[in-house]
Amino acid sequence: MTRSLRVDAVLVQAVIAGALSFAHLHDLAAAAGQTGWKAWAYPVSVDLLLVAAWRRLRNDGPSRLAWCWFLIALVASLGANVATAGFLDLEHPPAWLRFGIAGWPALAFLGGTLLAHSPAATDREHATGREPEPIEVVPAEPESAPEPVPAAEPEPAPALPAASEPAPVSGPSVPAALVDHARKVADAHQARTGSPIDIDTLRARLGVPAPMADAIAAQLT
C-alpha cells in the first residue's frame, strides 16, 4: 500500500512539473510571435527531443551525440522556464529571443533525425572493422630425410655386353619427390634473389646431409 502511494505521488509530481514546463514554453513561443497551434508545438518539440536523447543514453550507453542533444533540449526547456519568471520583458521580446524561437524547429528536426538514424556504438564497430589481411601460405619444409644405409656390396654379376652396361651411380639415391621439392625451392630462391641457389642454402632449406645435397644439386643442373 505504501509503495502504491509513493508511485502515485511521483506520477502526480511529474505531471505537474511537465504541465508547468509545457505552459512556460508555450508562453515564450507566443511572446516571440508564434501564435495559434505553432505556440503549442514548441513545448512538444522540446520535450520530445529531451526524451529521445535520454532514451538513447539509456539504451545505447553514453555517447557524445546523445549528450549533446540532451543538453541542448535541457537548456531550451530550462531557459524557457527561467525566462518567463520576469527576467525578460515578454511584451517586447529581444531580437535574439525571436531568432532562437524561429530557428528552433530546424535545430530540433536535425537533432531528432540524428538520434533516430545514427548507428549505435556496437554497429559502428562492426561497420569500421577491417577485413583480416591475407595470410601468405608457405609450404612446410619436409623433415630431414634419414641418411640412407649403405647397401651391401653386390656379388659380381656376369659380364654383359658393353652396350647394356648401366651408367655408374655416384652418391646416395634421392627420392623423386625430394628432387621435385628441391627444384621448387631453387626456383623460388632464384625468383626472389635473381641468382641460382647455392649448395649450402639448398642443404639448409631441405635439412639434408651434405652428400645428399650434392646429389640433389647434381640432378638440378
Distance CA 147, CA 205 (A): 16
Distance CA 153, CA 97 (A): 113
What global pTM score does this model have?
Answer: 0.44
Domain ranges of the chain: 2-120, 173-220
| Helix (H/G/I), strand (E/B), else coil: 87 | helix
pLDDT digits (tens, 9 = 90+) for 93-119: 788 888 888 888 888 888 888 888 776
Backbone angles phi, psi at 133, to 5 degrees: -70, 145
pLDDT digits (tens, 9 = 90+) for 32-52: 888 888 888 888 888 888 888
217: number of CA atoms within 13 Å, CB side?
Answer: 18
